[in-house]
């Protein structure tokens, strides 16, 4: 698998290099910036994506059709490193280091968006948690998300090795895009059923309860996993400490050395 990843990175690097040195600019000066971006995106696409998703994004047996998935899906998948994926997958494509620059991702997204209409990349105003209703976000999170991602977004198990990832440290933009587009097995929550405001509230809730600065009033959060980690802690550190103390209490005091 590592070899495949290296190959992909190499391909992408060549693609990037190609797009950097390719004769552009002057000859296409009359074209709009938009179509230029799309062309660049298409070029990136043919190098990094087409082998699985088909030359025109129509999909193959190795990857689904990308017609109509929209720019938001591309931005999420590529920026979180899930795409391009290694060819031999486990149960689920994991997030990994992203190999594209944001500019390249935008080009790819523009190209895919040109294939069919779909959700566009959200603007910062849409996902910025400032001023949103945290408590409402919590209620929405418990209704729509906690069943897979846990109370505070620590993640959870799905069938046959699939899983819902931990949401700590995930860019609000990507959370927004994930809700909108439903990557992999996650269902989507389009604006028609989970409004823009709802999404913003959920992001604000996650920001409050699952970030580096979240205050755990009682001390160690123990992973936020509930009674299993609490039980382990009680056995190992609670009972463990008490047994250590009991050994001290019951032990005989050292005897004076015989002279």
Nearer to another protein, 85 or 209 (CB): 209
Nearer to another protein, 27 or 251 (CB): 251
**Binding of another protein by 107 (CB under 8 A):** no
Q: Which stretch binds another protein (CB under 8 A): 6-14, 27-35, 99-107, 151-159?
A: 151-159
**Binding of another protein by 225 (CB under 8 A):** yes
Nearer to another protein, 99 or 113 (CB): 113
Phi, psi (deg, nearest 5) at residue 88: -95, 110
Binds another protein by CB under 8 A, chosen from 12, 72, 99, 140: 140
Nearer to another protein, 7 or 228 (CB): 228
**Sequence-separated contacts (24+) of 77-85 with Cβ below 8 Å:** 77/183, 78/105, 78/108, 78/109, 79/105, 79/171, 79/174, 80/170, 80/174, 82/183, 82/184, 83/49, 84/8, 84/12, 84/48, 84/49, 84/52, 85/52
Exposed, middle or buried by CB within 10 Å (0-12, 13-18, 19+), for 65? middle
174 labelled ligand-binding: no
State in angstroms the smallest separation of the CB of 54 from another protein. 18
| 37-76 residues near another protein, rule: CB under 8 A | none
**Binding of another protein by 31 (CB under 8 A):** no
CA–CA distance, 177 with 188 (Å, rounded to integer): 9
**Binding of another protein by 1 (CB under 8 A):** no
Binds another protein by CB under 8 A, chosen from 44, 129, 189, 203: 189
**Binding of another protein by 186 (CB under 8 A):** yes
Q: Which stretch binds another protein (CB under 8 A): 13-21, 44-52, 74-82, 225-233?
A: 225-233
* Six token digits for residue 58: 């129509």
CA–CA distance, 149 with 136 (Å, rounded to integer): 17
Task: Assign residue 15 a region (left: φ > 0; alpha: ψ between -120 and 50; beta: otherwise).
Answer: alpha
State in angstroms the smallest separation of the CB of 93 from another protein. 12
**Binding of another protein by 29 (CB under 8 A):** no
CA–CA distance, 53 with 41 (Å, rounded to integer): 14
CA–CA distance, 153 with 225 (Å, rounded to integer): 10
168 labelled ligand-binding: no
Which residues are documented as binding site for heme c?
A: 49, 52-53, 145, 148-149
């Amino acid at each position: 698998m590592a070899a495949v990843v290296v190959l992909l990175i190499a391909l992408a690097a060549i693609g990037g290099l190609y797009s950097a040195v390719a004769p552009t600019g002057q000859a296409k000066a009359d074209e709009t910036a938009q179509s230029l971006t799309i062309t660049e995106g298409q070029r990136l696409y043919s190098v990094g994506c087409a082998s699985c998703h088909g030359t025109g994004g129509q999909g193959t047996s190795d990857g689904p059709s990308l017609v109509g998935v929209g720019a938001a899906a591309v931005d999420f998948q590529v920026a979180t490193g899930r795409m391009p994926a290694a060819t031999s997958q486990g149960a689920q494509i994991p997030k990994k280091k992203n190999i594209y620059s944001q500019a390249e991702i935008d080009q790819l997204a523009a190209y895919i968006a040109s294939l069919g209409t779909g959700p566009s990349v959200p603007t910062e105003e849409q996902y910025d948690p400032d001023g949103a209703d945290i408590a409402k976000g919590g209620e929405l999170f418990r209704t729509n998300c906690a069943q897979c991602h846990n109370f505070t977004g620590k993640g959870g198990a799905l069938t046959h090795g699939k899983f819902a990832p931990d949401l700590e440290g995930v860019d609000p933009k990507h959370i927004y895009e994930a809700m909108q587009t439903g990557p992999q097995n996650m269902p989507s929550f389009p604006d028609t059923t989970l409004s823009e405001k709802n999404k913003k509230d959920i992001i604000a809730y996650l920001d409050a309860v699952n970030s580096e600065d979240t205050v755990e009033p009682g001390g160690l959060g123990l992973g936020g996993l509930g009674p299993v980690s609490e039980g382990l802690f009680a056995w190992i550190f609670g009972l463990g400490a008490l047994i250590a103390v009991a050994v001290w209490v019951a032990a005989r005091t050292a005897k004076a050395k015989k002279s």
